[in-house]
Amino acid sequence: MVKRIGVLTSGGDAPGMNAAIRAVVRTAAAEEVEVVGIRRGYAGLLDKEIVQLGPRSVANLIHRGGTMLGTARSEEMKTAAGLRKAAENLESCGVDGLVAIGGDGTFRGAKELSEISSVHSVGVPGTIDNDLYGTDATIGFDSAVNTAVEAIDRLRDTAEAHDRLFFVEVMGRTRGFIALSVGVAAGAEDVLIPEVPTDLEALSAAIRTRLAAGKRSSIVVVAEGDDAGRAFEIADRLGHVLVMDYRVCVLGHVQRGGAPSAQDRLIASKLGAGAVRTLLEGRTGVMVGVTNGMVIETPFVETWSKEKNLDTTLLYLMKVLAR
């Protein structure tokens, strides 16, 4: 049975990562299993930046954004030598179980580590993008959506004051999960996502139609990975045909900060505890996720090779509700 667990956070940070770390540490403590924290993701593992963690180490943490361990991206980890060094560092620290909190890049590293060493590994989906197969939601997604919606609620005031259209760019890497949820929840008039080819002519015509119907301000949510480009590019391409004044607002890394929502704290607690349970029950090479409130396990490879469905019926709902 796994005797000592290492936990790390890797890739883009997400609100709720700390709640997941807390759940790993306290669940392991309840089973009298030691936990060490690995700072700065795989970069810290390569530098052996290891810290002992106990129940008190994660006190007063559940409500804090970011990650107490820090995170980083590591090019060295993508090399055979780097991978070997990371595996040796884990084994020399007596770590025989790894909980890797992050996205697909994090899980690729964890899978490779398990393949060249005796270390078992389990992934916890920690990214605001929600672009991992095998979980209804990733840790950080709900918080990021809430942050973006709050920002758009503020933009509405000034858009209405000036009879303006706002192009609002949100994160999400190559998927439109953040953009679509934000679009519906913020009552946006349009949302541009990578999953649906963007027709700028149709967008421009829709804006004109709504203006003629008396809608004097509009919000267009743009996913950063949209096929038509980033928000500023789209605004530049449309500017000469738009019949109303417009501005662009890129929400950027604001979406990654702030206190995790209750929903993110809940799934982070479930998944941090679930990851420890999976390791202690002898399983490895899987990501723990939540579906219909239940914790499930998905083989690492499927989390990035299988495409997660986007609820495109929300697009139709938006069209109806944005009239």
What are the CA-CA distances from residue 247 to residues 154, 158, 181, 224, 269 (Å)? 14, 10, 22, 16, 40
Choose the binding region for ligand F6P from 52-60, 170-178, 180-188, 313-321 (rule: CB under 6 A): 170-178
Enclosing H/E stretch for 102:
strand 97-102
Query: Reading across the β-sheet that carries 97-102, which strands appear in turn?
Result: 50-53, 34-38, 4-9, 97-102, 120-125, 286-291, 294-299
Residue 127 and residue 186 in contact, taking contact as beta carbons nearer than 8 Å:
no
Query: What is the smallest separation between the CB atom of 127 and ligand F6P, expressed in angstroms?
Result: 5
What are the CA-CA distances from residue 119 to residues 47, 96, 113, 284 (Å)? 18, 4, 7, 9
For residues 86 and 80, what is the distance between their CA atoms, to the nearest angstrom? 10
For residues 48 and 98, what is the distance between their CA atoms, to the nearest angstrom? 14
Query: What is the smallest separation between the CB atom of 252 and ligand F6P, expressed in angstroms?
Result: 8
Q: Is 102 in the site for ligand F6P (CB under 6 A)?
A: no
Neighbours of 318 (CB within 10 A): 18
Which residue from 70, 63, 56 is spatially nearest to 11, judged by alpha carbons?
70
Q: Is 135 in the site for ligand F6P (CB under 6 A)?
A: no
Q: Is 128 in the site for ligand F6P (CB under 6 A)?
A: yes
Cβ proximity to ligand F6P, 12 vs 194, nearer residue? 12
129 tagged catalytic:
yes
Cβ proximity to ligand F6P, 147 vs 278, nearer residue? 147
Q: Is 270 in the site for ligand F6P (CB under 6 A)?
A: no
What are the CA-CA distances from residue 35 to residues 8, 92, 109, 294 (Å)? 11, 15, 20, 25
Q: Is 231 in the site for ligand F6P (CB under 6 A)?
A: no
Query: What is the smallest separation between the CB atom of 4 and ligand F6P, expressed in angstroms?
Result: 29
Question: Could you tell me how many residues of this chain bind ligand F6P (CB under 6 A)?
Answer: 10
Choose the binding region for ligand F6P from 54-62, 169-177, 206-214, 290-298 (rule: CB under 6 A): 169-177
Q: Is 251 in the site for ligand F6P (CB under 6 A)?
A: no
Three-state secondary structure call for residue 112: helix
Residue 113 and residue 161 in contact, taking contact as beta carbons nearer than 8 Å:
no
For residues 291 and 59, what is the distance between their CA atoms, to the nearest angstrom? 28
Q: Residues 13, 96, 129, 131: which is the catalytic one? A: 129
Which residue from 172, 173, 171, 176 is spatially nearest to 198, judged by alpha carbons?
176
Choose the binding region for ligand F6P from 123-131, 236-244, 295-303, 314-322 (rule: CB under 6 A): 123-131
Binding ligand F6P by CB under 6 A: which of 15, 70, 109, 172? 172
Q: Is 256 in the site for ligand F6P (CB under 6 A)?
A: yes
Cβ proximity to ligand F6P, 27 vs 106, nearer residue? 106
The angle formed by the CA atoms of residues 101, 105 and 110, to the nearest 5 degrees, is 60
First to last CA, the chain: 59
Cβ proximity to ligand F6P, 8 vs 95, nearer residue? 8
Cβ proximity to ligand F6P, 6 vs 172, nearer residue? 172
Q: Is 12 in the site for ligand F6P (CB under 6 A)?
A: yes
Binding ligand F6P by CB under 6 A: which of 26, 111, 120, 173? 173
Choose the binding region for ligand F6P from 167-175, 187-195, 208-216, 305-313 (rule: CB under 6 A): 167-175
Q: Is 171 in the site for ligand F6P (CB under 6 A)?
A: yes
Sites of contact with ligand F6P (CB under 6 A): 12, 103, 127-129, 171-173, 224, 256
Catalytic residues: 129
